[in-house]
């Protein structure tokens, strides 16, 4: 009874984690019930005979969770059945030429050779990744058809029936998986990458504050809390195999949503690899957040400001990259954040050069300097991820960020930027900083440090003002026309 | 033509990488040819009819590379066929009670419910890991049997034939995979872990020397060479999924070689995880070996000795652990190496405490201190791996190291240890250091630093002298009996 309740609880958890799983189960049940009925009904049964069961088998084996996996398997199965069917008929014909005694021996040799060779080819890494299932079906169909024990005419009829039923089964799976609540592996890969980048961004956004906060000795509660709060990134460490299989499936998928057929899925793997590298560094960094040797507050205070800024800015860059991925718009402000982080890093280096740590304890120093060095690594990796993302953005033709250009209210003024507070996508108020440094909404002045603005002056007298909302990372653009 | 030559080259590479792959291919070909003939011959064919093809299908699908995978799949397939066969007959019986019109509807509902439920259960992580294939076959067999369109009597006969042929196919796979050149997943997991530990040990044994060597600026040749020489450990980083699937297969395997059934395979995964963690640190460390900011030779000289010792001793500990794993003997000298590494670490800390770096450049200092901190992490992880290995050794009943105890030549002397140079397994000469510090083979004195000896004085007047060969890590033991 307790066991049963546990199973129900587990089932609820699995369904809640991804409700599409429930839909998928219904889809499989539906297609199978349909194809089984097809097998059951007499008139159809008379036509295909026992071979109708191949349709049922195909459905059970081919229907996978994502469209890509189903398409890949369906294609593999149909192609392999066709090809092996042809070869099997050939082998059967050859063997039958050699008379009553020679035939079984020759057939056994054919099957042996074919199976041994195909099994060996399955070990080729590139074949294993994409055509493993093809070869399995190839071995199977060849053996079944060449050794079927029928006469040649019958073998051709048999092969024809088998292929038709396999195609019927395969097609029903593919059609249902594409047209009834499709689960696209490509979309999943896309979301996975965006959410991985986001997880790292959350870590980095919080790291600076938490690192500079003091933990009292023996405060195990706080340490446990940190372990829990900051453990989110850990799933990124082992995302490699998941990403690779999704990318393999995605290659089979037709265009869907924002993705065309031949979307640069490979670039996702490249970015994913860099993101994982960054996660390894964060994993190392994390041990300093919860380590027993804590750096004393005096020493931390000396580097607090640049350290916070490095972590915050690289976090912001990550956050914007994840949003850019999610919405498929070109990342624009990330470059600025990376630059900010790098300049904070330089500040930190010159601080260190000024010799402020001459009197620090070596153990503290090790701990602190390692954290700094890891943060430097993280910035460099962030920059690399950004480069990769730019490549992806141009290969996948991400849109530019300009959404609703608003012209300034005073088009005649020189170099004036609209200062009206605007709202970003999530309705956080953004206050735009004036070009001349004034903020027209003075009551919001304390918000200043929480935003950033970039002014791009174009040659035709137009200024683009990008503003980014601190709370959600969304950005808005205003276009100001300068008239002289 | 060029394409073909490339395929042949790839084939040769795949075969050379693991020659058992070729043997496996032959085994599959053989079994399939045998079972196909069985399907072909008339008398047998008359008995089983078309159902004989299930034997062929079972062979193709069940025969996997390792014994464990084959056993697991075979067991899954047979159990699922039996269970689904029983349920299918029940469903068929229930449906037939409801008359001509109700039957197909009821059957379709049964198939739908069964398929939907089973597909959903396949998403449970624990089920997916071990019984995914079971459920697939369950769905398949249930659908095929319940909807077979025959009368009840025929259904029972059909089920019986199907189950027998599946058992025939499954058994032939299992028997051949166990008795003809078996590939044990357990053995593979064992070797994989040992070789992973060995790879890390090679890295650590060389790291100290290479790190303290100076690379001239712009010597890209040396940097490239290092990248190549020191990249061996990288395969350890992504070994997780491989280890997990091997452990899953190994659970199915009967006792073989030194492994009993229910060998603690789970502990291998625990050690593997720690080894991977250590590899992550080494990956971070590696970037300092080939980084552009090299620490100046003056600074390195100051810490050279303890740094070399840390790296060497942790490398030795790893090396001994890998040998201990390979030979399944209890690791004895690793503890000593870890202790040595830790004491070298303390030396280093006190060096740092003495303030020898007051005049160092901050950037150099960061690089150096990070390397030191990573090495400290590596020692701690080495200790954890050793603990885990001790647990494994006692759970798996590893042998003690005592192989051929040699009694001392002068049993009457007090506390005298045989000083004759002995040979370790790989014929490297080991010179044993006397208890009193004298080395009887004075010409070998320069070898002293390259060995280590432990003297365990037991209460019954027996002294165990463990000696370890520097070159191969093998250890020998001499037992000295003290007579008063």
Residue in chain B nearest A149 by alpha carbon? B40
What domains can be seen in chain B, in order of their start residue? 2-179 (no CATH), 185-395 (1.20.58.220), 403-484 (no CATH)
pLDDT in tens, A197-223: 999 999 998 888 888 776 665 667 777
pLDDT tens sequence across A256-270:
888 888 899 999 999
- Partner-chain contact A57 B353, CB within 8 Å: no
The answer to whether the CB atoms of A140 and B56 lie below 8 A apart is yes
In angstroms, the separation between the Cα of residue A47 and the nearest Cα of chain B is: 14
Give the Cβ contact number of residue B343 at 10 Å.
14
Question: What is the spatial distance between Cα A34 and Cα A168, in angstroms, rounded to a whole number?
Answer: 12
- The CA R_g of chain B, rounded to the nearest whole Å, is 31
- In B227-359, DSSP assigns E strands to none
Measured CA distances, B52 to B42, B74, B353 (Å): 11, 17, 79
Does the reported pTM lie above 0.80? Answer: no
Q: Do A117 and B241 touch (CB under 8 A)?
A: no
Average pLDDT of the residues in A55-71:
91
Name the closest residue on chain A to residue B370, using Cα atoms.
A370
Rounded CA-CA distance B112/A343 in Å is: 62
Own/partner contacts of B429-436, CB < 8 Å, gap of 24 or more, are: B430/B467, B430/B468, B430/B469, B430/B476, B432/B465, B432/B467, B432/B478, B435/B463
Which residues of chain B are within 8 Å of residue A349 when distances are taken between CB atoms? 362-363
Please, which residues bridge with residue A467 across strands?
A: A453, A476
Q: B424-445 as b/e, with b when 16 or more CB fall inside 10 Å?
A: beeeeebbbbbbeeebeeeeee
Residue A454 C-alpha, separation from nearest chain B C-alpha, in angstroms: 32
Q: Find the residue in B nearest to A144 (Cα).
A: B53
Rounded-to-integer distance, Cα B367 and Cα B284, Å: 11
B16 vs A130, A356, B6, CA distance in Å?
22, 59, 15
- Residues of B in Cβ contact (< 8 Å) with A375: none
How many C-beta atoms surround the C-beta of residue B310 within 10 A?
Answer: 27
Strand B422-423 to A452-457 pairing: unpaired
Asked if A104 lies within 8 A of B41 by C-beta distance, the reply is yes
Give the closest-approach CA distance of B454 to chain A in angstroms. 32
Q: Which has more confidence, A360 or A325?
A: A325
Probe site for chain B from A366, A367, A374, A378 (most B CB atoms < 10 A): A366
Read off the pLDDT band of B460 (50, 70, 90): low
Banded pLDDT at B457 (limits 50, 70, 90):
low
Q: From the CA of A38, how many Å to the nearest CA of chain B? A: 10
pLDDT grade for A463, boundaries at 50, 70 and 90:
low
| Mutation to test the A interface, candidates B236, B369, B379, most A Cβ within 10 Å | B369
Does B373 sit within 8 Å of A108, measured CB to CB?
A: no
pLDDT at A444 over 60: no
Whether B284 and A280 lie within 8 Å, measured CB to CB? yes
Report CB contact under 8 Å: B39, A147: yes
Distance CA(B162)–CA(B49), nearest Å, equals 10
- The C-alpha of B347 sits at a distance from chain A's nearest C-alpha, in angstroms, of 13
Of A11, A39, A117, the CB nearest to B147: A39
What percentage of chain A carries pLDDT values higher than 90?
Answer: 29
Residue-level pLDDT at B413: 35
Which residues neighbour A336 within 8 Å (Cβ) at sequence distance 6 or greater? A452, A454
Condensed to tens digits (0 to 9), the pLDDT of residues A138-168 reads 998 888 888 776 666 777 888 888 888 889 8
Task: Give the Cβ contact number of residue A390 at 10 Å.
Answer: 17
Cross-chain Cβ contact B120/A21 below 8 Å: yes
- B178 in the Ramachandran plot: left (φ > 0), alpha (ψ -120 to 50) or beta? alpha
Above 80 in pLDDT, residue A232? yes
Q: Which of A335, A350, A366 is nearest to A452 (CA)?
A: A335
Interval B214-264: pLDDT, tens: 666 566 777 777 777 777 888 898 888 899 989 989 999 998 888 888 899
Q: Return phi, psi of residue A329, to 5°.
A: -115, 155
Closest partner residue to B362 (CB to CB) among A10, A60, A349 is A349
């Amino acid at each position: 009874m307790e066991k049963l309740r546990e199973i129900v609880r587990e089932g609820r958890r699995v369904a809640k984690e991804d409700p599409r799983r429930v839909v998928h189960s219904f889809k499989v049940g539906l297609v199978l019930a349909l194809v089984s009925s097809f097998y059951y009904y007499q008139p159809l049964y008379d036509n295909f005979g026992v071979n109708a069961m191949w349709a049922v088998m195909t459905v059970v084996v081919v229907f996978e969770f994502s469209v890509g996996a189903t398409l890949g398997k369906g294609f593999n199965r149909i192609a392999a059945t066709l090809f092996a069917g042809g070869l099997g008929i050939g082998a059967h014909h050859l063997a039958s030429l050699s008379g009553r005694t020679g035939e079984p021996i020759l057939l056994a040799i054919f099957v042996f050779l074919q199976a041994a060779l195909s099994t060996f080819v399955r070990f080729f890494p590139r074949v294993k990744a994409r055509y493993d299932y093809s070869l399995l079906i190839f071995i199977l169909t060849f053996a079944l058809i060449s050794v079927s024990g029928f006469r040649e005419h019958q073998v051709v009829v048999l092969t024809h029936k088998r292929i038709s039923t396999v195609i019927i089964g395969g097609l029903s799976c593919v059609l249902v998986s594409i047209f009834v609540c499709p689960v696209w592996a490509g979309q999943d890969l896309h979301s996975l990458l965006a959410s991985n980048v986001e997880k790292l961004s959350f870590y980095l956004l919080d790291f600076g504050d938490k690192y500079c906060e003091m933990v009292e000795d023996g405060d195990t509660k706080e340490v446990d809390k940190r372990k829990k709060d900051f453990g989110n990134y850990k799933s990124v460490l082992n995302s490699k195999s998941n990403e690779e299989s999704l990318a393999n499936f995605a290659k089979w998928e037709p265009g869907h949503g924002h993705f065309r057929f031949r979307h640069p899925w490979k670039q996702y793997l490249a970015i994913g690899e860099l993101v994982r590298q960054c996660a390894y560094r964060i994993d190392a960094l994390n041990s300093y957040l919860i380590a027993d040797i804590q750096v004393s507050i005096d020493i931390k205070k000396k580097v607090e400001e640049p350290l916070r800024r490095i972590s915050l800015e690289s976090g912001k860059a990550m956050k914007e990259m994840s949003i850019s991925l999610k919405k498929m718009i070109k990342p624009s402000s990330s470059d600025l954040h990376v630059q900010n982080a790098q300049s904070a890093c330089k500040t930190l280096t010159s601080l260190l050069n000024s010799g402020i740590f001459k009197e620090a304890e070596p153990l503290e120093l090790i701990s602190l300097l390692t954290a700094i060095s890891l943060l430097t690594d993280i910035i460099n990796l962030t920059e690399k991820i950004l480069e990769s993302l730019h490549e992806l953005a141009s290969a996948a033709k991400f849109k530019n960020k300009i959404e609703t250009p608003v012209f300034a209210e005073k088009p005649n003024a020189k170099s004036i930027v609209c200062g009206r507070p605007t709202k970003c996508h999530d309705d956080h108020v953004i206050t735009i900083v004036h070009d001349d440094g004034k903020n027209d909404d003075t009551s919001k002045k304390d918000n200043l440090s929480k935003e950033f603005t970039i002014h791009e002056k174009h040659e035709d007298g137009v200024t683009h003002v990008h503003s980014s909302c601190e709370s959600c990372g969304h950005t808005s653009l205003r276009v100001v026309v300068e008239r002289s």
